[in-house]
Amino acid sequence: MPERRRIAIVPAYREEGAIGAVVEEILAFDPDLDVVVIDDGSPDGTAEAARAAGAAVVRLPFNLGIGGAVQTGFKYALAHGYELAVRLDGDGQHDPTELPKLIEPVLAGKADIVVGSRFAGGGEYRPPFARRVGIGLFAGVVSLLVRQRVTDTTSGFQALNLKGISLFAADYPHDYPEVEATVMVVKHRLTLLEVPVRMREREHGRSSITALRSLYYVVKVLLALFIGLFRRRVVPLEEI
Amino acid sequence: MLELIRSRRLRERYALLWLATGAVLLVLSAWRGGLNTIAGWVGVTGYPPAVLFAVATLFILVVLLHYSTVISRLSDQNSILAQRVALLEERVGESEQGGSQLDSRSNAGLGG
């Protein structure tokens, strides 16, 4: 069987200080994995740092937010014929040595999308209280909607096969996208699997979600989920 | 209004909307009898011009809602464009690099 072409998608905004190490770490862990960094319109040297570390860099002309950046990565993967994509955050909180846990179920055909969960056991990650409440709320709602137990709906540590890449390249939610994406995946009859992973504390910078915005996101995402329920399939995926 | 259209700062369809709004409000404020009749329909007995404000508010709400949808569509299109530009830019950079590598290789071949 020919080797499947794999790519790591790393969205980054203002990660000049961390992105180089992230890319190097991925390449050191698995040299067969191509790395594309999506620079989401950073005003600093994120793109240069990523390029110097050996990644392909797609540089958005202005800040689109995490959803738009990640979708750019999926479009890139699709256009370049990759059959498997993994997604890591640009701040170094996702540990590349955990990647096999995500990739293997996809290769084995157990699921179209595998999500690394911080809460499915196997990690000692403890987010701040407010964030834990939000994550718990989303997990409850999403689990109900997709009729499958989901513990970490905000994890950006994922592996996808071609079906998953195609779906997300065609349609991907905007800010705080993982929650809606989880529901979208199941609605399009793709299979989703969660595996426990360890995540690290952020090395540089702050999380893109500040306290004040959290409430807005919770309301916005719940509304989006609710509306999403009544939306017909936006993308015909039958031909894939 | 006409000047705005003439200088292409306003598309005709929006101008039409505003002109229609203005015309309706103007007619209603001038034609007191009509306003009173409409006020009677909707049950406003105390102060008929209140209907005028109600109609104006409704118009403004509709226009604002319309603008929200227009803005949503524009920003979606905008981000799709940004993504496409970024991907194309990456591709251009790649092929330029590939081209220059090819050049240096053929130059080396000539030199050898």
Structure confidence at residue B10 (pLDDT): 64
Pick from A184, A139, A191: which is nearest to A161 by CA? A191
Please tell me which residue of chain A has the smallest CA distance to B84. Answer: A72
User: Chains A, B: CB contacts under 8 A, how many?
Assistant: 33
How far CA A208 is from CA of A34, A71, A90, A106, B23, in Å, comes to 25, 17, 11, 29, 49
CB contact under 8 A, B89 and A59: yes
Determine the average pLDDT of the residues in A133-155.
83
State whether residue A36 is helix, strand or coil.
Answer: strand
Q: DSSP assignment, residue A118?
A: S
Q: Which of chain A's residues have a Cβ under 8 Å away from the Cβ of B85?
A: 61
**Residue A10 forms beta bridges with which residues?**
A37
CB A202 within 8 A of CB A91: yes
Kindly give the pairing relationship between strand A192-196 and strand A84-87: unpaired
Q: Which CATH class is domain A6-230?
A: alpha beta
pLDDT, average across residues A22-41: 93
List, for residues A184-199, the tens digit of each pLDDT value: 888 888 999 999 888 8
- Range from A59-68, A151-160, A208-217 carrying the lowest mean pLDDT: A208-217
Using beta carbons and an 8 Å cutoff, which residues of B are at the interface with A?
79, 82-83, 85-87, 89-90, 94
By Cβ distance, the residue of A62, A68, A75 closest to B87 is A75
Highest mean pLDDT among A230-234, B17-21, B103-107: B17-21
Question: Where are the domains positioned within chain A?
Answer: 6-230
Residue of B nearest to A76 (CA): B87
* pLDDT over threshold 50, residue A2: no
Return the pLDDT at A1. Answer: 40
